[in-house]
């Protein structure tokens, strides 16, 4: 993909979601698919026009003007057809006016915030929520969403269609929940953003370990929440802190050849100090109040990983944090990371005993952990675990990294 195509793709990703949200806010979620069609047509016209006349000075403003014109044309035409075909309209329908779309920065933010809560309504299945978020809020194509779910276009299209039908059938409005309902709904919204970030930070798609675009979109959505009073809560800031700390090490996690760089081998000079500072800011804000969420614990762990020193104090605190995290949010990855922290704090022998209790036989990270634990004690056994990890790894990037480890072990 050349630079012009890449720039256009980024513009589509940035503006598609904004335009769909504004049109849907103006004309209702029931017209979400119409909004998607109008925005897609706008971008199609842009490709044709800009090839002939060049890219305008302000591409976003050009898109907004065209989208506004196309939207007004569509709904005016439909109103005329309705009036002719169905002469006995209700009084409410007769009074219905064509909405003048507002593409101001404030209205775009408000529209996207409302869309975020609508997409995360409990009536929508969780997988469909993530799919809708990727499509409607992040501007990703159906192919990319299919990759993210390790699925195919047909399945994703059906899933999104059913989700949109559910939104229509349940008459979900594009409005913020009542104040007393927001905090409960916010948990779902934060979880979706967390999943989006994780998919980017450790991607199972496109043979990449890292997809910055997904991570940046997740952070953008979290910032939206932090700018709205009722959702600017400690757990929102904890999630933002977590994402800032992880994002600060983007440039050190991969080589130019897309090989993953292990934490201990990362060049600290490549870490983004500004993002680490932002993470500290959000971590301080997250300390207000009495709630300790899983995001708080993960953010503090991520903070420790922005300090390169390999001290016993550091790993003992990380172990303590993982112990607390396991109690409120168990997952195999947390259990594996907790065992690694145990190894760094208290040595390989005790960590091996804990690791072998996990028996995560279908998880390549499990065998990578075992390989690390046996590396000094039994190199041959370590190599066998690496070979098992290689057979289970899902991407070519991972497999390449594991091969390097295997080659580093003397037979």
CA distances from 12 to 16, 40, 135, 199 (A): 5, 9, 12, 20
Q: Is residue 369 part of a domain?
A: yes
Q: Is residue 1 part of a domain?
A: no
* One domain for residues 365 and 350: no
* One domain for residues 408 and 387: yes
Q: Is residue 364 part of a domain?
A: yes
What sections of 86-211 are H helices per DSSP?
A: 91-95, 105-119, 126-132, 142-148, 153-169, 179-201
Range picked from 122-136, 248-262, 278-292 for highest mean pLDDT:
278-292
What's the number of domains the chain is made of?
2
**Percent of the chain topping pLDDT 70:** 89
Q: Tell me the pLDDT tens digit for each residue of 124-177.
A: 887 788 888 888 888 888 887 887 676 788 988 898 888 888 888 888 888 888
Q: Is residue 399 part of a domain?
A: yes
* One domain for residues 353 and 366: no
Q: Is residue 325 part of a domain?
A: yes
Q: Is residue 87 part of a domain?
A: no
Tell me which of 117-121, 234-238, 394-398 is least confident.
394-398
Reported confidence tier of residue 98, pLDDT bands at 50, 70, 90: low
Mean per-residue pLDDT, 215-229: 91
* One domain for residues 336 and 379: no
Q: Is residue 334 part of a domain?
A: yes
Q: Is residue 314 part of a domain?
A: no
Residue 402 scores a pLDDT above 70: yes
pTM of the predicted structure, to 2 decimals: 0.83
CA distances from 157 to 120, 142, 206, 289 (A): 18, 7, 20, 42
Distance CA 315, CA 228 (A): 36
338 is in which domain, residue-wise? Answer: 320-357
Question: Which residue, 311, 334, 357, sits at the end of a domain?
Answer: 357
* One domain for residues 385 and 346: no
CA distances from 346 to 164, 315, 351, 366, 374 (A): 52, 9, 8, 19, 15
Residue 85 scores a pLDDT above 50: no
């Amino acid at each position: 993909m050349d630079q012009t195509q890449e720039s256009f793709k980024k513009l589509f990703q940035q503006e598609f979601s904004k335009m769909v949200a504004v049109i849907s806010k103006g004309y209702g979620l029931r017209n979400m698919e119409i909004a998607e069609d109008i925005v897609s047509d706008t971008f199609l016209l842009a490709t044709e026009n800009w090839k002939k006349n060049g890219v305008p000075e302000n591409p976003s403003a050009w898109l907004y003007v065209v989208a506004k014109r196309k939207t007004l044309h569509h709904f005016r035409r439909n109103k005329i057809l309705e009036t002719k075909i169905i002469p006995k309209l209700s009084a409410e329908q007769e009074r219905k006016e064509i909405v003048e779309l507002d593409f101001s920065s404030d209205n775009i933010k408000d529209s996207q915030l409302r869309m975020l809560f609508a997409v995360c309504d409990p009536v929508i299945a969780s997988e469909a929520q993530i799919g809708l978020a990727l499509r409607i809020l992040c501007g990703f194509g159906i192919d990319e969403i299919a990759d993210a779910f390790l699925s195919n276009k047909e399945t994703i299209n059906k899933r999104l269609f059913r989700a949109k039908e559910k939104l229509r059938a349940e008459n979900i409005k594009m409005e913020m929940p009542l104040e007393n309902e927001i905090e409960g709904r916010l948990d779902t919204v934060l979880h979706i953003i967390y999943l989006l970030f994780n998919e980017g930070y450790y991607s199972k798609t496109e043979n990449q370990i890292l997809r910055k675009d997904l991570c940046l979109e997740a952070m953008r959505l979290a910032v939206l929440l932090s700018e709205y009073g009722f959702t600017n809560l400690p757990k929102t800031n904890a999630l933002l802190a977590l994402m800032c700390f992880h994002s600060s090490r983007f440039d050190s996690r991969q080589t130019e050849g897309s090989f993953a760089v292990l934490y201990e081998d990362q060049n600290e000079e490549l870490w983004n100090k500004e993002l680490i500072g932002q993470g500290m800011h959000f971590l301080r804000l997250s300390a207000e109040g009495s709630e300790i969420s899983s995001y708080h614990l993960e953010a503090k762990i991520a903070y420790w990983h922005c300090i390169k020193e390999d001290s016993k104090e550091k790993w003992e605190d990380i172990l303590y944090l993982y112990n607390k995290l396991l109690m409120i949010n168990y997952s195999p990855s947390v259990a594996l990371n907790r065992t690694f922290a145990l190894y760094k704090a208290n040595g390989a022998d005790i960590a091996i005993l804990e690791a072998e209790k996990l028996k995560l036989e279908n998880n390549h990270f499990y065998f990578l952990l075992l390989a690390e634990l046996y590396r000094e004690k039994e190199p041959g056994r370590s190599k066998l675990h690496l070979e098992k990890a290689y057979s289970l790894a899902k991407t070519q990037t991972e497999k390449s990294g594991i091969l390097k480890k295997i080659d580093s072990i003397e037979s």
